[in-house]
Every structure is written in C-alpha cells, then in structure tokens.
Structure 1
Amino acid sequence: MSSFNEKIKRISLVELLVLFIVLCILMVGFNFLNIKFNSTFLYLIVLAYFIFKLRNSFNELKIEFLNVFSKVSFKTVGSVVLLNIFFSYGMLYFSNFILQVVDSNSIFGSFMSLNIELFGIVGFLSVVLLSPVVEELIFRGIFLNKLKIIVPTTFAILISSLLFASLHGFGSIFSAFIFAVCMALLYLKSENIFVPIFAHFLNNLIGESIYHLDSSQILFNNDLVVGTMSVLAIISFVLILKFIYSNWNNI
C-alpha cells in the first residue's frame, strides 16, 4: 500500500464535515443575498482543502499518478466506463418514461423535472476535471476508508455509494449508485485513488461531450436510436453486474 494512499486515509472526516457545514452556511447566506454560488466554487474550495492536507506528498502523488495502470489495466477501466455510460442512458430513458406517466403538474412530477444547469465552458471543465478529483477523494478516499474501520467492507462500499448517488437527480440515482460501486471496487483493487479519478474523468468527459454534441437530442427523439441504446443498456447492466460480482469476491 502506498504512503500517499495512507495519507489520504489519515485526513480527518470531522474536519471535512465541518468544512461542508461552513460551505452550506455560506451557500444559504449567498442565496439570501441573491448572489450565485454554484458547484464550481464548492469544488475549488474542497480541492484547496485537500491540496493543503496533502501539501507534503508531491513525490508520492507523482508515483501514484504514474502507476495508475499497474494493478488495473486501461482496458478494464475503459470497459467499466463505457458500460456505465450505456447503462446510465438506459436509466435516463426509463426516467423519461416515468415522467410521461406522472402528471407534470403534481408535486412529485415537478420534483422529478428538476435538472442541473450547465454554465458553458466553466461548467464543462468543472464537471470533467474538478468533479472527478473532488468526489473521488471524498467518497472513495475519505468516506469509504473511514467506513471500512467501523463496518465490513461490503457495507462501507454500499453506504459510500449511496451517499454519492444521493447527490444526483432523478433518473441518475441508480446508475450513479452502480457507478460508485464500480469506482469503489477499482479503488480497493488498485489501492490507488487516481484509478477511480481517471475512470470518473473519462466517464464525465464522454457523457458531457455526448450531451453537448447531441444538440438535436437524437439520442432521445429517434426511436431507432432509443431502442438500440436501450438494448445496449440492458446488456451493459448484465456485464456490470458480472464485473461487480467477480471483483467483490476479491476485496
């Protein structure tokens, strides 16, 4: 096990929770003053905290970064990411079907219709670059490792994955949970936080690129494409479960 991974484990969960509470208070204050305080600033502040805590670990960080594929191959990471991409679109199709069934004027329908605003290039970079680093450090580097101390690893994976999924909107919760479980397994298998960071980066890069390139919404408006993607989503889900099962027994 690398010394860098050990330093991540020693970061205080209490400090991180205090930081979250302070940020929540700031968000409420800024909203009260009608000042926009979006997720990009939150990511930057949390990233700054991690940089400060790991400020004396540059050499270990460099070694871990260069050894991303020493225990987990690029083929494995790429396959997990692509399968999750297909599966996530399947869940989006399913959520759209639910939205069509539920009355859009109802409270439940209005809640499910909420979506995340994108802020152009800044939002793209935030989702693709900042989000993978910060979220993997928090949910795999901190939460997963801290939970492993007090509960069996199986429950640590499930709880940390549920926490990760709770940040996502309707239509993405279940796929985010499955993705988080995969990231946890990649992290535990490699003992290198840069493996799930890279996989998360690749996932967000592909997902955001498809979103921006598909301006005409072909993926949602063309019946042939929707049907094909739905079949691929089912196949992907089966293969993801196979990956989870085969790797769960080795953790």
Structure 2
Amino acid sequence: MNKQNSANGLALTSAYLFIMICQLMIPHYFRNGPAYLICTLIWLLGALAMIFLNRRFSFKNPIDSTEKCTQATHEAILIGLGLIATLASQILLTTFEVNVLHQPSGSENTNMFIEIIHQYPYYFLCPVIAAPITEELVFRKFFFGNFSSVLPKLICALISSTVFSIGHSDGHFIVYAAIGLILCYVYEESGKIRTSMIVHMLMNLTVILINL
C-alpha cells in the first residue's frame, strides 16, 4: 500500500477502535442515562471525526475512482435494490441458521439496541446514523476499497465481510457476512461510499422500527 492508502486506513481504523473502546468502557464508569448519553455523543462525534479524517487523509481507491453513480436516479435505484437485498438476505439466511444450524432466531445486537432505545430514545441515533457511517468507512472504504489497490476485489470483499461479521459477534456469522457482501457490491457499483452508508442506515432503521 502507498503512503496515502496507509494514512487513510490508519486514521479510519484508529478512530473506529477508539469509538468502540469507549462504547465498551463508559458503561463501567457511568450508570444508565449518563452512560448512554455519553456513548451517543461520542459515537456521533466520532462519526463526524471519521468523515473529516477520510477527507483529511484522502485516498481515491479503485472503487472510488469509478464514480459510476453520476445520476441521482441511478443512485436511488441502487439504494432501493440494496435495501431490499439486505433485508431479504437477513430473512432467508436467519431462517437457514435457525433451522439448519440451530442458531437462536433473535440477534443479540438488535435486542441490545432495542432494550436501550426503549429507555433512552436518543440512543436511536447510534444504530441508525453513527454506526452505518463508522462501519462503512472502515469495512467498506478501508478493508474493501483501499485493499482493492493491492488485492483482487473479490478477495477484498470476502475479507471485508468476514471482519464485519466477526466484529458483530452475535452468532449470526452468515447473515452479517452476506450483508457485508451486499454493501460491498453497492459501494462498488456506485463508486461512492455514501451510497452504501445510506443503504446501511435504511436497513438498520427498518430493523429497529420492526422490532420496537
């Protein structure tokens, strides 16, 4: 990787790890409302910081360089298809995991978010806004897009989706890996990280609203 690539990746992953460490540590030092308010603020500010870092240490990887979505209509269609694909894959693959692999039907991550949101509605901003921004910049922009400058795109998509799935660590490995692959495809087809961010936001919004 060249220096621009390395600087971009280091900036994004360092910021993301800091945000995640804060999400884990803060509840141990604060209780209930104050803890989740601080977590929400850090996650939102961290997302803004990652957007800034991505611009400050900019690197136009092979995916960004395509800029396929030049028309709003094309991007809107891609967003719609991406949303449908991510939701459909969750339904189908969760059914497979439950019936064949005997995994629990519920997602620990989703259940955790729902439980917190019921008590502290402002936390809704974390899974719907902050998480999609930070995760797309790390898993799609860096692991998929930036690595595509040195490895084949398919290999990078598999690496990105595997790390994305492991990072969620709630047992539904296949579901998260499939979502990761779809988001890689959306990013690759659009040439814009914002497109996969929007799909990710809408997917999380839909799942949260269904489970509230």
8 Å contact 2:136–2:193 — kept in the other structure? yes
- State yes or no: 1:122 paired with 2:122: yes
What letter is aligned with 1:91? L
- State yes or no: 1:89 paired with 2:91: yes
1:77 aligns to what? 79
2:8 aligns to what? 12
8 Å contact 2:44–2:126 — kept in the other structure? no
8 Å contact 1:92–1:171 — kept in the other structure? no
> How far apart in 2 are the matches of 1:79 and 1:24?
30
8 Å contact 1:147–1:156 — kept in the other structure? yes
8 Å contact 1:95–1:171 — kept in the other structure? no
Cα deviations by residue, 1:19-55 (Å, 9 ceiling, x for unpaired): 4554566566546546576663553243132243237
SS in 1 for 2:83: helix
SS in 2 for 1:151: coil
What letter is aligned with 1:14? L
> How far apart in 2 are the matches of 1:150 and 1:88?
31
2:63 aligns to what? none
What letter is aligned with 1:183? L
Q: Which has the larger radius of gyration?
A: 1
Deviation of 1:196 after TM superposition, in Å, equals: 0.8
> How far apart in 1 are the matches of 2:23 and 2:143?
23
Provide the aligned length of Structure 1 versus Structure 2.
Answer: 186
TM-score relative to the length of structure 2 = 0.68
Deviation of 1:156 after TM superposition, in Å, equals: 0.9
8 Å contact 1:9–1:141 — kept in the other structure? no
TM-score relative to the length of structure 1 = 0.59
Gap change, CA 1:77 and 1:19, over 3 Å in 2 = closer
Unaligned runs of 5+ in 2: 59-66
> How far apart in 2 are the matches of 1:28 and 1:76?
34
The answer to which structure has the higher helix fraction is 2
> How far apart in 1 are the matches of 2:164 and 2:26?
25
Give matches, 1:154-233, under 5 Å: 154-170=154-170, 172-212=172-212
Deviation of 1:193 after TM superposition, in Å, equals: 1.3
Deviation of 1:187 after TM superposition, in Å, equals: 1.2
Aligned Cα root-mean-square deviation (Å): 3.5
Deviation of 1:116 after TM superposition, in Å, equals: 2.6
> How far apart in 2 are the matches of 1:12 and 1:172?
30
8 Å contact 1:91–1:171 — kept in the other structure? no
Gap change, CA 1:24 and 1:15, over 3 Å in 2 = same
Give matches, 1:131-146, under 5 Å: 131-146=131-146
